[in-house]
A and B are shown apart, each in its own frame.
Chain A
Amino acid sequence: GAVVSQHPSRVICKSGTSVKIECRSLDFQATTMFWYRQFPKQSLMLMATSNEGSKATYEQGVEKDKFLINHASLTLSTLTVTSAHPEDSSFYICSARAWAGGFTGELFFGEGSRLTVL
């Protein structure tokens, strides 16, 4: 399948600091990427839709000033958790839809980034 890569896979930070997570589509271009969050033993929850060259669209209850999303190119979207607190500790997953290269719109997901805020 198409490849979506996230970095870092794990990050530990102190409360109050900011953390940036990168999401790259390696073999296709993605005008739109999606960011999900997953707490232990729960399903994935959509946080926001990242659009290349424009502002992200956030789901209800997700603070746009806390979770900054930048989608500056067709292959890269970043999620920055600003002033992180322990309750932000979670598994963050990005995804992108592949239309080219034989794919017909399947969503592919990154490996996920586990954030632990101390």
Chain B
Amino acid sequence: DAKTTQPTSMDCAEGRAANLPCNHSTISGNEYVYWYRQIHSQGPQYIIHGLKNNETNEMASLIITEDRKSSTLILPHATLRDTAVYYCIVRALVSGNTPLVFGKGTRLSVIA
């Protein structure tokens, strides 16, 4: 799986959009970008994933650059409950059962 680089930490004001960047310059053509988050003392929560098109769901939007070497997770209106560690993971969507490998992620602090 391609390596990802994320900032260690970020702050965001409550109600504002939180934009979390991720660099994955060695991504392969068959690799997807996945985002998970982990709120303190809970298991990771799936947020969104995409291949090359921008994706949006009820939780967030995922913007992938045209060259696919970086992406941004957008939480449109951050709340205090969005404070968590956000993990960007790149891997192929394989039919077999392979695990996710977690990096250090970005610790997002939403401030009132």
Contacts and interface: CB of A to CB of B under 8 A. Distances in A.
Contact of B41 (A31, A36, A91, A105): A91
Interface stretch (A12-20, A41-49, A74-82): A41-49
Interface residues of A, number: 26
A97 B103 CA distance: 19
Contact of B43 (A46, A95, A97): A95
Interface size for chain B: under 10, 10 to 19, 20 to 34, or 35 or more residues?
Answer: 20 to 34
B46 A106 contact: yes
A114 B43 CA distance: 11
Given A43-B102, A49-B97, A109-B46, 17 more contacts: A1-B46, A34-B99, A34-B100, A36-B102, A43-B87, A43-B104, A43-B105, A44-B38, A95-B99, A95-B100, A97-B97, A105-B93, A105-B94, A107-B36, A107-B100, A108-B46, A111-B42
Q: Is the interface of B mostly helix, strand, loop or mixed?
A: loop
Contacts of B100: 34, 95, 107
A105 B46 CA distance: 11
Q: Is the interface of A mostly helix, strand, loop or mixed?
A: strand
Nearest to A107: B100
Interface of A: 1, 4, 6, 31-32, 34, 36, 43-46, 49, 91, 93, 95, 97, 104-112, 114
Interface in B72-87: 87
Contacts of A114: 41
Given A6-B43, A93-B43, A112-B42, A43 B103 contact: yes
